[in-house]
Amino acid sequence: MKVDLIQYTPDPEKVVASAARLCYSADPVPELLEHLDEETVARFVRKLRAMGHLSPFEHVSFQFSIDGVSRALSHQLVRHRIASYSQRSQRYVKENGFEYVIPPSIQGNPQAMERFEGVMARLQEEYQALQGMVPAEDARFVLPNACTTSLMATFNARSLLNFFEHRTCRRAQWEIRGLAERMLDLVRGVAPNLFSGAGPTCVTQGVCHQGTYSCGRLQTLSRKKT
């Protein structure tokens, strides 16, 4: 998996702070921007987070390049609908010699690994054979969820906070959790105050919404505090 933050709104924290201040000021945005120093911006952004006043966060966006992830992951990713996606097409780009993601549970089991790689090899053979019989867009129906893909994804900051809340949770599937953790590291590097409290609710709010499916992390955190 390779994840890069390729573009983002310049001075994202300052933009968020100025958008929030505009609601309570008669001054135009350019003047608001001029009078915001780093300390004021950081304090204001943290206050907005604490108040749950997150609409100003929607004014800044972050664009990611994501490579070497599985189609199983991409199907989960697009469930986060307040974002924009572009993905390599299996209809127009042939997947001859396709690469694939191997789950850790399979990597750690020699018998499972042998069967898995055997299946991938057979699917590759059948995919190439079918291209000689039917259009490539129909041959692709035999390609597996494990097949790697590349995407470009653009989120606003508020949508990212929601994404991190759900996908850095230990209940999230391992591959997309790894993606979310890498994306969080990247945005914290350029907007630390916007994302300082990002993460699963057991860590950020002291509450778990998983019910009987909880991983038990909240109880562990609670015991550490006592």
Task: Please list, residue by residue across 156-179, b when 16 or more beta carbons sit within 10 angstroms of its beta carbon and e when fewer do.
Answer: bbbbbbebbbbbbbeebeebbbbb
Q: What is the pLDDT along the chain (226 residues), one digit of tens a residue?
A: 999 999 999 999 999 988 887 765 545 556 566 667 888 888 888 888 888 889 999 999 999 999 999 999 999 999 999 999 999 999 999 999 999 999 999 999 999 999 999 999 999 999 999 999 999 999 999 999 999 999 999 999 999 999 999 999 999 999 999 999 999 999 999 999 999 989 888 888 888 888 887 887 877 676 566 5
Q: CATH class for domain 2-85+149-198?
A: alpha beta
Res 225: pLDDT: 61
Res 158: pLDDT: 97
Res 223: pLDDT: 59
- Long-range contacts of 89-94, Cβ-Cβ distance < 8 Å, separation of 24 or more: 90/137, 90/140, 90/143, 90/147, 91/136, 91/137, 91/140, 94/131, 94/136
State the amino acid at position 191 in one-letter form.
Answer: A
Res 24: pLDDT: 59
167 is catalytic: yes
Name the catalytic one among 167, 171, 182, 223: 167
Where are the domain boundaries for CATH 3.30.1360.170 in the chain?
2-85+149-198
User: How many CA atoms are closer than 13 Å to the CA of 74, on its beta-carbon side?
Assistant: 26
